[in-house]
Chain A
Amino acid sequence: QVQLQQWGAGLLKPSETLSLTCAVYGGSFGNSFWGWIRQPPGKGLEWIGDIWQSGRTYYNPSLKSRATLSVDPSKNQFSLTLASVTAADTAVYYCARGQYRRDAWGQGTLVTVS
């Protein structure tokens, strides 16, 4: 059964760059979409973007100019960077597998911008 484990800095200052990585264990890394979703405190989920194993990316238009997804199949890992963060980027960030059915999720990382 696939498991996702994510990590990255939890406290950033405005204008800094958010960087998170998600490692995939116990399953095939190939033939899957891998994505990032965030959840501001007390609010709903927001899709950030997805990446195919080949590196093809899809982004939320509202974040496209600041978000970058990358993948390292040799390490079974994929990453998110979000540039020029502000307080509005404060949220729990999740990595997940799939698009039509996001059936595996990381544990979540609270990122606070202050």
Chain B
Amino acid sequence: QSALTQPASVSGSPGQSITISCTGTSNDVGGYNYVSWYQQHPGKAPKVIIYDVTNRPSGVSHRFSGSKSGNTASLTISGLQAEDEADYHCSSYTSGTSWVFGGGTKLTVL
């Protein structure tokens, strides 16, 4: 069970859009529509912002969206705001009734 692959860091200016990728295999991301994304500010617990690949929990901004193509899931944040600066983690169900996370991506808002 290997961790999903995310870029270590991404950056963007306020108002821009950025995309964070999450690459797995056909045994996890590619095989199931159970990818979720979590936002984590320093010293805080993670917060779910996307689940089941594309769904947003109530209260999460429409600026956050999720998608998947093959073995890669993506999180897109549009209209970047300073408050979006945080770490982002993806997670997927895997064969064998297990769950796996990515290594996390640090988003810097320039």
Give Cα A37–Cα B40 distance, bound, in whole angstroms.
Answer: 14
Residues on A with C-beta less than 8 A from B51 are 100-101
Number of residues on chain B facing chain A (CB within 8 A)? 26
Residues on B with C-beta less than 8 A from A13 are none
Q: Is the CB of A45 within 8 A of B104?
A: yes
Q: Is B69 an interface residue (CB 8 A)?
A: no
- CB proximity of B44 to chain A, nearest CB, Å: 8
Number of residues on chain A facing chain B (CB within 8 A)? 21
Known: A45-B101, A60-B98. A101 touches B57 (CB 8 A): yes
Chain B interface (Cβ < 8 Å from any Cβ of A):
1, 3, 6, 34, 36, 38, 45-48, 51-52, 55, 57, 89, 91, 93, 96-104
Chain A interface (Cβ < 8 Å from any Cβ of B):
37, 43-47, 50, 58, 60-62, 94, 99-103, 105-108
